[in-house]
Amino acid sequence: MSYERPYYKNLNYHPLLFYVIFGVRDEELQVSREKHHVDSFPDGLDFIFYNAEDNNEYMQSLLGGKLGEILDREKHNLYEKIKNTDKWAIIRGEVQQDDNLNYMRNTIGFVQALLERNAIGVLDLQTFSLYSAEEWTDKFFRQEFNPYNHVTILSSEMEDGSTWLHTRGMRKFGRPDISIEKVEVSKTEDAVQVINQMIYYGNLGAFFDKDIKLHTNNGKTYIVNPNFVNDYENPDFNNAYYQIFWSQCKCQN
């Protein structure tokens, strides 16, 4: 498939990736252009090996605290296994060339090559998602590239009983995450479709700096006003984000 970004704007807002691969082996990594679809290691990323003897404090800090609670709750058995590994590889940093998505293809290929050397799991720290080696291979390597696999839509109940929907992971595309508050239960599916369309166009490089018109699968049209919030320190996103104001449009599609 094409990894082009036809709506790309150079915002000097670089994609940030952070993957931890657990249980790597002490041997030379074999990466194949043909097998792993890799042509280079993305400029701006670091590829670092850690071992428990020299880096135990840092390794334990990554798996502790609130993140550890989340991983333990969602993937208890795998979490217990990765905690017992003593050799990790970490791929992290800000990608410098992002006018296409080759950096994602190459990063996926390097992670896959590590997994084929008997690593047991991968943590995506941008989405707080933990995958077994088999899950990663099936979801990211064997399938065509799918931006929705790289972004998580989270749901939280607000004080008035409505729902807050927001994403994590858009920073992997160098684009803001998406937040819609006070979503009525009857509008939840429409809101998810609006978010998914913004994920799709964001992965293709779009930056939303004015009102846009988006259509749902059931024939509705929404006017979306994306208010850009330039706050990279918000722990809900670890990224800047759009605060979305939306309303259904009665106009002709």
- The whole-number pLDDT of residue 249 equals 87
Per-residue pLDDT of 152-180, as tens digits, reads 999 999 999 999 999 999 999 999 999 99
Amino acid in the structure at residue 33: R
| Torsion on CA atoms 96, 41, 114, 237, rounded to nearest 10 | 10
- The whole-number pLDDT of residue 26 equals 76
The residue with greater pLDDT, 249 or 208, is 208
Question: What string of DSSP letters covers 48-100?
Answer: EEEEHHHHHHHHHHHTSHHHHHHHHHHSHHHHHHHHT--EEEEEEEE-S--SB
Q: What is the mean pLDDT of residues 194-198?
A: 97
| Torsion on CA atoms 78, 235, 18, 61, rounded to nearest 10 | -60
d(CA 171, CA 174): 5
User: How high is the mean pLDDT of the chain?
Assistant: 94
Per-residue pLDDT of 32-64, as tens digits, reads 888 999 999 999 999 999 999 999 999 999 998
Return the number of other C-beta atoms located less than 10 Å from residue 126's C-beta: 24
d(CA 148, CA 128): 15
Q: Find the helix or strand (DSSP H, E) in which 36 lies.
A: helix 33-36
Q: What is the mean pLDDT of residues 141-161?
A: 95
Report the SS3 class of residue 194: helix
**Given a cut of 80, is residue 94 above it in pLDDT?**
yes
d(CA 116, CA 32): 12
Q: Find the helix or strand (DSSP H, E) in which 122 lies.
A: strand 121-124
| Apex 85 CA angle, 83 and 87, nearest 5 | 130
